[in-house]
Structure 1
Amino acid sequence: MLKMATDKIETDEGPCCPICLEQFSIPRQLPCAHSFCEKCLQSHITTEYAKYENEKLTYIKCPVCRNSASPAIKDRPISEWTTLFPVNTVLQSILPAKSKVDRLCDARNSEGVHAPAEGYCVACKESMCIDCLKVHKKLKISKDHTIISVDELACNPRNVMKLANGFTCSEHHGEDIKYYCKDHSVPCCGTCFFDSHKICSKVIDLKKDLPALQRDSSLEEIIADMKKIEMHLKKFMEMNEACVNALEPQVERLTNQIREVRKKINSVLDELEKRVKTEGNRIYKEEVIRKQDENQQCLSILHSVRNSHYFLETVYKYGSNLQKFLMTETMMSQLYFYCNLVGEKYEKTNKLAVTVQFSPTIQSILSISLSELGKVVTTTSSNTLPLPCSQRPTKDCQLERVDVIDLKLPTVKGAQWYTGVTFLPGERVIIADYNNKQCILLSSSYQFITSHTLTGNPWNICVLDDQEVAVSLYNQCKIQILSVIGDVIRPVRTITTTYNCTGIATAGNGDMVVRGPCVNNKGQWILINMRGDVKCTHQYDIPFNEGYNYIAVNNMKTRVYVSVYGMNSLLCFDMDGRKLFTYSPDNLREPHGVAVDRYDNIYVLGNWSNNIHQLSPNGSVIQVVKTGVPKSPMAICIHQSKDILIITNRQDRTKLHIYQLK
């Protein structure tokens, strides 16, 4: 029986690394708050880097949530990246004593020297060796800083929490979280506040107004929800193991079934063999007797012929002419008789052949191939479990249009048409301008920054990582990869395909999902890697060949959504190409843009019906928005943490319609 990882789920000896499933050894924390053993994280970084050895990576993907994580100093060697992510001191403080490790001096460690730390400076938030502590206490600027011994930190989580005080910003390295924006439901540091939230109406100072943010949920309720999640994960793993264990006897039963079928067939064939042998022996014996009789007759005739031969020669040698004449006449009569007799024998004697005449059933079995004779068939059935904890009540959310931005650029001579739009990491926006073969970069306040000319007409655009976007070029059979660093857009590489690309979305792990061509009333979506190699292609039926299609992937990268305007439908597939559901109500006409919010709710634009359909992850309707929707909505994107939607439209092609999910 195969061993599965279920044995690990009952161990409860403290926090465990999600990679090695063992107790943490020097837990390093990524900006997304997930922690891993230092060695495990370094192994993951090395593996990720090896996938793109020809490209200079400046980030990695978290092994758990796949969010991007950049080291504090991006130009350091890849072998040092792990040490640039902070140690999770809170997590380390609650590890069992046997798993604790010596804390190293942060300053010396950054120089590549592993010196054991003796103390921790509360003000500087750094561990220091004894030499660094001596210097620290002598400096005028730091002599009054509070120092806590490393031993006291290691043994007392309460002290660690006092030092943690708050949390640092994931976007601005080292800056403390000081505010909370209720408009966007995000915590932010001082830089976040001045860059993006200065004009927001509900920004809470966490030091002054923290009680205003206290949630109704108690600690016990949150822990209860977390325990439910643990229970469901354990249940899921147990179900997987039960499924695997149940397969073993099924496989044995399959072989037994084949064995029984073979036994029955062999039994029938054995009986047939006995009958054939008995009947064949009877035929053989009868034929032997008959042929022996015929040969005996032939032998008698043969001797008669020889006797006549001898008699004739003797008469011709010693007899008279009269005797010769009469003997000749007699022999002539005998000769005719012998000729007729031999001819008759040849006519009556045939070569006997014995064969077995199988029944049509056996003949049909013998004529079919192995694949037609039988095959192993697998069937799947889903196990439904209730949600382990409550989610945001999306049915009560309102989609409110808060602004309309006219982006008609005076420097552009041709008519602009925005067929693709997406948020970059942060709040900046990049747009695909189809008519003018360009991409346009906007600030977080939707002000023009720069543009970049493409080699063809862009249709759609998606974010690959912190620095790169992919643009599908309509009727070009190309995907152009661009880097967006600061205020500069640069071409990185071009992927040439054998098919025309329209909708495009990131599928995680460096892969992309692309809406391929429609041929012979078959639509298709294609999974490709960063080099453009096709990993798999999945087809589905459509009423006629069409081109204006969009595509999206859910946050867990397990589902693909394709809008099919010719069918007035939104199709949902899993990553293996199995169709999960079809959404095609009467009030959805010519669907175009499709996107997914942070709760995996789906938004699809009715281009002809002029509405926005908001669906739950399972495809049920949450709401259909008609008020404030632009005529002929085209493309849509959603800011995953701030619940901001941007919609372009075919009627007013230069306008961006900004919505807030409240």
Structure 2
Amino acid sequence: MAVSGKKASKQFSSSTTSMASDEDLQIYCQPCDEEGPRLPAHGYCTDCKEHLCHTCFTAHKINRLSKHHTLKDATNMPKVLQQPSTSIHTGQSNVLTTSCLKHPQEILKFYCNDHTEFLCSVCVTLEHQVTSCKVNYIPDSSGDIIDSKEYQVILNAVNTTSEKFQQMVEDVKNMIYKSNSSLKDAFVDIKKFRQEINQRLDELERQAEDAAKVIEQDNKKHLKAVEEICEDITKSLKISADKIKQLNTSKQANKLFMELKLAEKTIQNVEGKAQQLLSYDIKEHNFQSNDVILNLFKKKKSLGTLKSFNKKRQPIQIKSRQSSHEGQFRVKTSKDEYNCNITGMTLLAPDLLIITDHYNNAIKMVDTSSKSVFDQLQLDAGPLDITRVTSTELAVILPNIQTIQFISISSNKLVKKHAVKVDVDCQGISCYQDKLVVSFLNPAKLQILDMNGTILTTIDGNNIFRSLGDVISNRSSIYVSDLGMKTVTRLNWQGDVIGSYSGMSYPRGMSLSDDGNVFVCDYDRNVVEEISGDCSTGNVVLQDLKGPVAVCWCGETKKLYYSWDSLDNFLYIYKLS
């Protein structure tokens, strides 16, 4: 029996043809012959084309997947092993051989559609009964899978998903490249900031040295005067002494008497002169350091911080702000011929604001702490806009003479430097990392220039702009107020439009907030609106104003300064929270 059983198994596993000898007529259960102990066949399933033992035969009539199959008992079953269905067993490679992870002795033959899991017969019996789960026998379900629609759909999905993840790698590479590039820009900013600090410290050092040199020069002048007076007195007294000696030798008593009295009077006079010379206040000096500067460097742990931001972000929702009016202060000075027309502002420090007075052809340096103008510089024409170049240098646009005038600050004084020419109808000016951006009213365009006035890029209006006003810029963006289109337009430094905020009435001056948002004066609506950096959303932060023209934000004090086109000579201050 053992020998005939082996022959039957061997023939089935190799060619599954009929047995050829009488001694091989014993047929075994084919499912059990594959996975477990060899048991005699008790019946046959014409659908599965398999001989079954008593247990498998009984289970075949109960299992939902096979209870409709046609079964033959031991009397009517084929007496030889049958060739399995071609659709189920196309060759040795199509035989199911994957072991179940839960039951390693069992082979995975079923698939549960409800739980999307492969199952063995034990899994089906214990956890996925046919009464609760939709379970398919894999050979029954796989017959039409070759070149099927499901094959095409899933293969396409696999390829699409694969491409998606390949593209993800490229996208991440690109984003990391941009991140590293932004770090290079940050390194440049760090160096530039350090240079600005050094420049300011050098300037303060020169101021201290200049003060010491003034005292030194005064001392030299006094010493020279003393030396000259004393030398004259010494010569005069020597002449008097020689004459007294001569008269005494020649026995000229009368003349000697008179010369002695003159000498006595001269001595009295020069004694008083000596007291006068010694009364000059000559002091010694030492240097006392500025503790504020010293403590500032001691307290600060770093030059600044690297701020992270996401290039791809959802539209930013502008938070609502509470505003409170903190008063106003007068910026008209005795030098002004007309009422003020403040059209531009820039902040150099929380307490140092620079403003342009268009009608009085002047720029003014304002101490926001004392609310006073402490220096004023007259220009060749009325300035319209102003931008910070460094901590001690400014650039002012003069439309009437098509000029950019550079201004420096030295010893708390505004000083004119060089100037460069630009095209007609220039309106706004902004600076970022040694690049100037200038807006033009008509024809509407933007120009990017270097510090010598060389045009690097021109962005023509065409269908983008109509009539440009103010312009501001940062590392990634250029914002321009379009009076004709009634929008604020956002561009990158290559000149591509990457955002636009509509709904404005007559946008004028702008200022960047510390978190990348933009404050915009809407002249006709009498409001100042804060719009997101991507120009997707906005909120009104100040309303019921009077024709706001220029605006400037101080992130450290959370104060917003604005002027209005009324020639009332005042700047207004609001606190935002």
TM-score normalised according to structure 2 size: 0.48
Question: Is the radius of gyration larger for structure 1 or structure 2?
Answer: 2
